[in-house]
Amino acid sequence: MKPVLALVGRPNVGKSTLFNRLTKSRDAIVADFAGLTRDRHYGNGKQGRQEFIVIDTGGFEPDASTGIYKEMAKQTQQAVAEADMVVFVVDARGGLSAQDHDIAKYLRKIGKPTLLVANKAEGMLEGIQLTEFYELGLGEVIAISAAHGQGTRGLVELAFESLNLPDEPEETEVDPSVIKLAVAGRPNVGKSTLINTWLGEERLVAFDMPGTTRDAISVPFEKQGQKFELIDTAGLRRKGKVFEAIEKFSVVKTLQAIESANVVLLLLDAEQGVTDQDAHIAGYALESGRAMVLAVNKWDAVDEYQRQLVQRSIETRLPFLSFANMHFISAKKRQGLGPVWASIVQAHKAAMCKMSTPILTRLLLEAVQFQSPQRGGMFRPKLRYAHQGGMNPPVIVVHGNSLEHVTDTYKRFLEGRFRKAFNLSGTPLRIEMKTSTNPFADKDAS
């Protein structure tokens, strides 16, 4: 699991600038999840071989009791709860404030591992101006300049050292016959009801397997001879011999579950249609290359007019998931669940599909014969042969000349041909173009 760093502090201390620096992005709004206000944002960072998640928060007032500041405080408290390490950012030039003391008091109370970072410290890294921040009682003060990139690398390294992360990622034996399934969706969409239905009423073989320190829990179970591993995003817990699914939405848990899964079941709400949050979760799953199945829950609770609106909203808001099979279900009444399992198995099969080079090359040449790519400048792209470059998701590498001129439209045309030939429903398919270089180009130039 990726470690999670939460950036916390009062307004205008440079949290968003530090977020952009750590995620190597230009806009702090990397993933804006509707319903969580616009004050908590998530991004991916990487230093060396270690990847991590960064959470950017709004100005924090722990004691706020009314209005927008109360809501912003809730968002920050949620981010702190999700994090492995809190990065408390203060303003080295603005000095210590009463609000800094309030935040420090809150962080000391909850006992979460915390690094105290004095931002905007360019030109004063070895000065005595930072000594006042030791009053906060949070240990060593780390001087950085997020705007100039000074000290940010050391900050991340110190965070990793404090978390005692292994130098090398742990390699665990993976059973290829087990399908890792993540049920993702926003709060109150019915994930808990669906999970309880699977684990209880359908008498699935299940047992509890504790996960990481962040209480991520996986539940192995079996259906019709196929082994699955349910990666929890709904706050699954066990109480005695009864499984309880508690609707506890955590963006971090959802992102980590998606990355750990082979197949993602995205659950939508028929009563509310497709929201921004649904689209963001779907987009993240697609970027992660995960096979996907769509299920529209509470289908029994809406009339024909609402059903048409929902289908239209899926077509307009989630057109990039046209490869995924879609089902209309009622988890509460156990309606339509059988075909969902068939689609999950099919999506996994497609994601792990092996494609031989001769067949791929033949399909490629047949496609070119049927429709040639458009000419780009003086040259027409020449597609010569193709081979498989990876699985989960499947990657097809096409070799030839002048392939930089191949249009996205033509790539989609090729994708359609490959999908139909190998029955790749339920999984994204990536096509990479590799142009051959002229080995005599340098000699001619000389």
| Percent share of the chain, pLDDT over 70 | 79
**For position 379, what pLDDT does the model report?**
79
Q: Residue 343: how many CB atoms within 10 A of its CB?
A: 22
**For position 66, what pLDDT does the model report?**
58
**For position 128, what pLDDT does the model report?**
63
At 316-350, the pLDDT tens digits run 999 999 999 999 999 888 899 889 999 999 999 99
According to DSSP, the residues that pair with 46 across neighbouring strands are 51
Between the CA of residue 360 and those of 385, 412, 414, 430, 433, what are the distances in Å? 8, 16, 11, 14, 14
**For position 164, what pLDDT does the model report?**
77
Q: Kindly indicate the confidence band of residue 75, based on its pLDDT and cuts at 50, 70 and 90.
A: confident
Higher pLDDT, 69 or 171: 69
Is the pLDDT reported for residue 407 higher than 80? Answer: yes
Element (H, E) at 271: none
Q: Of 28-37, 146-155, 318-327, 329-338, which gets the smallest average pLDDT?
A: 28-37
Give pTM, 2 decimals: 0.69
Between the CA of residue 361 and those of 155, 354, 387, 436, what are the distances in Å? 49, 14, 7, 16
The single residue listed with the structure tokens 């100039």 is 148
The single residue listed with the structure tokens 């809501």 is 71
At 162-209, the pLDDT tens digits run 887 665 555 545 567 889 999 888 777 888 788 878 877 444 444 444
Classify burial at 415, counting beta carbons within 10 Å of its beta carbon; exposed 0-12, middle 13-18, buried 19 or more. middle
CA angle, 284 then 169 then 249, to 5° = 35
Q: Residue 370: how many CB atoms within 10 A of its CB?
A: 9
At 228-253, the pLDDT tens digits run 888 766 555 444 444 444 334 467 77
Q: Residue 93: how many CB atoms within 10 A of its CB?
A: 13
* Mean pLDDT (whole number) for 60-89: 76
* Residues written for the chain: 446
**Arithmetic mean of pLDDT over the chain:** 80
At 286-297, the pLDDT tens digits run 888 999 999 999
Q: Of 21-35, 211-225, 348-362, 375-389, which gets the smallest average pLDDT?
A: 21-35
